[in-house]
Amino acid sequence: MTGWLSLIGSLFILDPMGKIAEAILTRPEVPSKQRDRLIGSVLDKGLAGWVSRHRQMGLIADTETDDRWLTLPDQPYKVRSALAVPILRGTELLGILTLLHSVPNHFTSKSAALMQATTNQIALVLENARLYSKLNQYSKALDDELEKGRQIQIDFLPYEIPQPPNWEITACFQPAKQCAGDFYDVFQLADGNVGLVIADVCDKGVGAALFMALFRSLIRIFSEQIRLRGPASVILKAHQPATGWMGENSSTNLAHLKALSAIAITNDYVAKHHWQMSMFATVFFAVLDPATGLTSYLTTSMGDMNRFLSSGTRA
DSSP letter at 175 equals -
Domain-located, residue 301: yes
Taking only the tens place, the pLDDT of each residue in 48-75 is 889 989 999 999 999 999 989 888 777 7
Same domain? For 258 and 181 the reply is: yes
Render pLDDT for 290-314 as a digit per residue (tens, 0 to 9). Answer: 888 888 888 877 665 444 333 333 3
Does residue 89 lie within any of the structural domains?
Answer: yes
What's the mean pLDDT in 9-21? 83
Helices (H), the chain: 32-45, 47-54, 109-156, 206-225, 232-238, 250-273
Same domain, 174 and 115: no
pLDDT tens digits along 230-284:
455 556 666 666 666 666 556 666 777 777 788 888 888 877 787 776 777 888 9
Largest CA distance in the chain: 111
Contact 309, 254 (CB under 8 A): no
Q: Measured between alpha carbons, how far is 83 from 8 in angstroms, rounded to an integer?
A: 11
Closest C-alpha among 303, 174, 315, 206 to residue 253: 315
Do 261 and 303 share a domain, yes or no?
Answer: yes
* Average pLDDT estimate for 195-209: 78
- Whether residue 149 lies inside any domain: the answer is no
Does residue 191 sit in the same domain as residue 296?
A: yes
Residue 186 pLDDT: 92
2 domain residue, yes or no:
no
Same-domain pairing of 162 and 84: no
Lowest-confidence region among 142-146, 189-193, 220-224: 142-146
For residue 16, report the phi and psi dihedrals to the nearest 5 degrees: -60, -20
Rounded Cα distance between 37 and 296, Å, is 80
Any bridge partners for residue 246, and if so which?
A: none
Residues 197 and 280: beta-carbon distance below 8 Å: no
For residues 164 and 126, membership in a common domain is answered with: no
Q: Quote the CA–CA distance of 213 and 231 in Å, as a whole number.
A: 35
Identify the residue with better confidence: 180 or 271. 271
- Asked whether residue 163 falls in the same domain as residue 307, the answer is yes
Assess whether 171 and 309 both reside in one domain.
Answer: yes
> Which helix (H) or strand (E) element contains residue 98?
strand 92-101
Sign of CA dihedral 198, 201, 203, 206: negative
Angle at 51 between CA 49 and CA 54, to 5 degrees: 110
Q: How far is CA 26 from CA 42, 70, 134, in A?
A: 12, 14, 30
CATH number of the domain enclosing 11: 3.30.450.40
Based on the domain organization, do 242 and 93 belong to the same domain? no
pLDDT grade, residue 179 (50/70/90)? low
Residue 71 has what pLDDT? 82
The verdict on 265 and 202 lying in the same domain is yes
CB atoms within 10 A of CB 23: 19
Q: 97 forms bridges with which residues in the sheet? A: 11, 85
pLDDT for res 302: 66
Among 107, 137, 167, identify where a domain stops.
137
Which residue range forms the structural domain that includes residue 35?
7-137
Whether residue 152 lies inside any domain: the answer is no
Do 103 and 200 belong together in one domain?
A: no
In this structure, is residue 1 part of a structural domain? no
Q: Whole-angstrom Cα distance, residue 129 to residue 123?
A: 10
What DSSP string describes 222-278? HHHH----S-HHHHHHHT--TT--SSS-HHHHHHHHHHHHHHHHHHHHHHHHSGGGT
- Asked, for residue 103, whether it belongs to a domain, the answer is yes
Quick: pLDDT tens for 79-131. 899 999 999 988 889 999 999 898 999 998 888 899 889 898 988 888 888 88
Identify the burial level of 131 via C-beta atoms within 10 angstroms of its C-beta, where 0-12 means exposed, 13-18 middle and 19 or more buried: exposed
Residue 294, in any domain of the structure: yes
Residues 114 and 225 grouped into a single domain: no
Overall domain count for the chain: 2
Q: Can you give the pLDDT at residue 312?
A: 38
| CATH number of the domain to which 303 belongs | 3.60.40
